[in-house]
Structure 1
Amino acid sequence: MAKYLDVHPENPQPRIIDSVVDTIRKDGLLAYPTDSCYALGSRVGSHDGITRIREIRRLDDRHHFTLMCANFSQLGQLVHVDNNVFRAVKSATPGAYTFILPATKEVPRQLLHPKKKTVGVRIPDHVVTQTLLAALGEPLLSSTLLLPDEEEPLTQGWEIKERLDHQVDVVLDSGDCGTVPTTVVDFSAGEPEILRVGAGDPTRFE
């Protein structure tokens, strides 16, 4: 059964955050709030975490995983960003955007798009997520908590606990965080291509 942890949305309790970090470092799978909607998260190098996320969401190997980063410095270690892309991405972070970019050698191969060798990265604008990333000290492998054959992500912590009780290890609940996933912008070819319109304003990349 999953642990259900109720965390304050503006002043997350350190003991709760530390407990979640401990679970992640032991290759646990987390359901957690972000600035767009709930997501599934695990340690970047966790083969078990990747497998479980794929099983829950029924993802194929073409799915772009997202690496949730605390800041731009961390993001820059994971993807190649030229000057033009740097300015565009920097101006939109933190925020509800996911950027598809060529990955560096720091990213495990199983997270990459098999042909493009790209990965999704983002910097969230959410107190609980940022506190968690700061305590973890490294990026978090992440994927929107959108279940197969459903049109909208799960939005209530209690419902996530109820439906995924035997599939995740921790449900971190800080209240409502919306139902709209991030806007996804592909910069892998140098020019922005909007792959999904979501919570982030897409007009700045059009």
Structure 2
Amino acid sequence: MAQLIRIYNENPNAKEVAKVVKVLRDGGIIIYPTDTVYGLGCDITNTKALERIARIKGIKLDKANFSFVCADLSNISDYVKQIDTPTFKILKRALPGPYTFILPGNNNLPKEFKKKKTVGIRVPDNTIAQLLVKELGNPIVSTSIHDEDDLLEYTTDPELIFEKWGNLVDMVIDGGYGDNVASTVIDLSEGEPVVVREGKGDISIL
């Protein structure tokens, strides 16, 4: 059974953050808050953890469209090809924020993602998520947790999330109630921005 750990977004406790980072380093899977819905995440460099997330989601790893959660813009450039000025301006305006940007991947992608031409990048406007990535030292591979109930597509209550997912993951962070609107997905891989999914992020930033 997973551990439930309370971390406050306004003032995250460093000791608690360190506990979560240790779980990630040890190949564990966490559920953590973002600026949109709660996410299922693991260390980008850990193959076994990536495979576990794919199994939980019931998909093959090489077919998975997981996002990379980064701490900031400089973190992004480690995994994507040279970003042109118009693209950079959009990223600068939008991030941190409730957006997933699809960008062309570069050769630094972990081997599990080498076949992919593009990657989804997130920099959530959430202190806990940003701190975890900073302390871990590399991005968290992330996917949102869907709920079977159509009325409530994303579970927002951390205690209910814990009840439902606690036997599948290693740690659930209670960072307060989450949102139930997913991020806005914008494809920037071909130059002109294409809105793939309209979510929480306002598309007028384009």
Q: Percent identity?
A: 36
Query: Are 2:18 and 1:23 aligned?
Result: no
SS in 1 for 2:205: helix
Query: TM-score, structure 2 length as denominator?
Result: 0.92
Indicate which of 72, 86, 89 corresponds to 1:87. Answer: 89
The worse-fitting range, judged by mean Cα deviation, of 60-69 and 134-143 is: 60-69
CA distance 1:50–1:202, change in 2 (3 Å): same
Query: Are 2:103 and 1:101 aligned?
Result: yes
Q: Report the residue type matching 1:127 in the other structure.
A: T
Q: Tell me by how many angstroms 1:203 deviates.
A: 2.6
Q: Tell me by how many angstroms 1:62 deviates.
A: 3.6
Match of residue 12 from structure 2: 12
1:61-76 aligned within 5 A? 61-76=62-77
Runs of 4+ in structure 1 off by over 6 angstroms are none
Aligned residues: 203
Q: Tell me by how many angstroms 1:158 deviates.
A: 1.0
SS in 2 for 1:31: strand
Q: Report the residue type matching 1:88 in the other structure.
A: I
Match of residue 196 from structure 2: 195
1:92-171 aligned within 5 A? 92-111=94-113, 114=115, 117-147=117-147, 152-171=153-172
Partner Cα separation in structure 2 for residue 161 and residue 142 of structure 1: 17
Query: TM-score, structure 1 length as denominator?
Result: 0.92
CA distance 1:43–1:148, change in 2 (3 Å): farther
Structure 1 unpaired stretches of 5+: none
Partner Cα separation in structure 1 for residue 154 and residue 64 of structure 2: 17
Residue deviations 1:84-105 (CA, integer Å, cap 9, x gap): 2111111111100000011111
Structure 2 unpaired stretches of 5+: none
Q: Tell me by how many angstroms 1:190 deviates.
A: 1.0
Instruction: Compute the RMSD of aligned alpha carbons.
Output: 1.7
Partner Cα separation in structure 1 for residue 192 and residue 137 of structure 2: 31
SS in 2 for 1:52: helix
Residue deviations 1:155-190 (CA, integer Å, cap 9, x gap): 111111111122100000110121111000011111
Q: Tell me by how many angstroms 1:148 deviates.
A: 6.0
Partner Cα separation in structure 2 for residue 9 and residue 72 of structure 1: 21
Q: Report the residue type matching 1:194 in the other structure.
A: V
Q: Tell me by how many angstroms 1:67 deviates.
A: 0.6
Partner Cα separation in structure 1 for residue 63 and residue 182 of structure 2: 19
The worse-fitting range, judged by mean Cα deviation, of 128-137 and 148-157 is: 148-157
Residue deviations 1:23-55 (CA, integer Å, cap 9, x gap): 000010000000011001101021222222222
Q: Report the residue type matching 1:105 in the other structure.
A: N
SS in 1 for 2:200: coil
Partner Cα separation in structure 1 for residue 125 and residue 166 of structure 2: 27
Partner Cα separation in structure 2 for residue 62 and residue 147 of structure 1: 21
